[in-house]
Amino acid sequence: MSAILTVTLNPALDLATSVGQVVPNLKLRCGPETAEPGGGGVNVARAIMQLGGQSQALVALGGHTGKALETLLADQRLATIRIEAPAETRHSFAVTDQSSGEQYRFVLAGPTWTDAQLDQMLDQLDSVAPQDAFVVLSGSMPPGAKPGFIPHACARLGSGRKLVVDTSGAHLEAQAKGPKPAPYVLRMDSHEAETLSGLTLETQAESAAFAEELRQRGAGRLVIIARGKDGSVMADGTGLWHVNASNETVVSAIGAGDSFVGGFVMGLAQGETPPEALRFGAAAASAAVISEGTQLCHRSDWDRLLPLTEITKL
């Protein structure tokens, strides 16, 4: 089994609660709160652990919030490698409106990194990641990281390590142009794909065709586009693939994408083919959305949903 190392440069202490109804200009009395470690790479590592796999999480932490987050990571027995963040670790919080079932999610910015600090981080990452490891960059890049950081990280980490990228905004837009070297996997959601393509991508075939266009452009060696309740599509050089979402119930959408990445990378690290790993990821995402708050996927749900998750070659 290949090693998996997730990278979280902008983690968060994720708070979640609920209220009878969200209305402006009033004090809203909330229900009990939960606190969980958050940030894309942290969530991917948590998902892998909850699915029974193994990974390490390199996490940048700072200040009192960073200490609280480090305690939560230790309590969950997540294997972590701590590096120092430039400033205080951020909070994020989610509030569920009980009257409508809608969820409001508030995400703070976090500390700003300099180019020198990012290069120092890559030096540390290079020293701890095995040469054949899967290295996961999941979530938004930290403030201060400039578009072009992804190919820079690919070049610094070398061709043996397989970089898995699930990001957004200017960094995704820059990566979609196909700068070299490319990551092993580039994943995005349907809204992001529609923004990049300028198309509505209403069908699985249209999403898969755009994934193949991005792959041929050099945006990633494998390109995955999530389609929500319609599953995900992937272009991997051997064909265009679709995987279904194996349930329609959504309790909380928090962490579904990170659970997908966790299940997918776990499958690859265990030697599964990319289409089979896609099935692992889709089942993990389906398991995540039936969990409350920020709990991510559970192995018992994944075991039940995996047989209902099917791969189709388009």
Catalytically active residues, by annotation = 258
For residues 192 and 172, give the distance between their C-alpha atoms in angstroms, rounded to a whole number. Answer: 9
Task: Report CA 97 to chain centroid distance, whole Å.
Answer: 25
Return the bridge partners of 95, or none. 17, 104
Give the DSSP letter of residue 45. Answer: H
User: Among 153, 159, 144, which residue's Cα sits nearest to residue 119?
Assistant: 153
Q: Which residue type occupies 201?
A: L
Q: What are the structure tokens assigned to 140, written together?
A: 């938004």
The phi, psi pair for 270, rounded to 5°, reads -85, 0
CA separation (Å) from 301 to 50, 51, 287, 312?
11, 10, 5, 22
Q: What are the structure tokens assigned to 304, written together?
A: 């039940």
Q: Which residue type occupies 247?
A: N
Cα dihedral 115, 120, 123, 127 in deg (nearest 10):
-150
The phi, psi pair for 111, rounded to 5°, reads -70, 155
Helix (H, G, I), strand (E, B) or coil at 10: coil
Pairing of strands 34-38, 185-189: unpaired
How large is the greatest C-alpha to C-alpha distance in the chain, in angstroms?
56
